Amino acid sequence: MIDLDNQTDLDINLLPLEKIAETLSNREVELIIIDDKSMSALNKEHRGTETSTDVLSFPLETPFTEQSIYDMPLGSIVISASFVKEKAKSLGHTEQDELSLLFIHGMLHLLGFDHEEDEGEMREREEALIQMFALPKSLIVRTTTES
């Protein structure tokens, strides 16, 4: 289940995101959609970077036993509405598709994947999910081909 806090005018269809979430976990996820100014502040506070970004993930840090016993939420995913709009427009796909791509990326981070440190496991999992949900190229795939 997704607990949505949309602080912007981005139009969101939760159904495709719920399907993605259910494929990856049975735990609740908080999804927060914010503007660039708020995302810049979060990015600076948590990553020391004074720029905006597209998606940030914040896993709920509780002991494993509490997560399984009390069915604690998985964590929070924060997405920048303007990044969704800009990337969708520049790449020629829908805002919903871009939102789904970023949501997959955020979910994988909540589940412990880290593309900056792993040996391609997150990229492989992301690509499989993109195919499963018939989505356009992912953030990681785009980044790889642009390098």
Q: Is the pLDDT of residue 117 over 80?
A: no
pLDDT recorded at residue 47: 85
pLDDT in tens, 89-110: 998 899 999 999 999 999 999 9
pLDDT recorded at residue 62: 62
CA–CA distance, 30 with 117 (Å, rounded to integer): 25
Between residues 22 and 120, the one the model is more confident about: 22
Region at 71 (left for phi over 0; alpha for psi -120 to 50; beta for the rest): left
pLDDT (mean) for 112-122 = 79
Nearest 5 degrees, angle CA 133-CA 135-CA 141? Answer: 120
Task: Kindly list the structural domains of the chain, giving each domain's residue range(s) and its CATH number in brackets, ordered by start.
Answer: 2-146 (3.40.390.30)
Q: Across all residues in the chain, what is the average pLDDT? A: 86
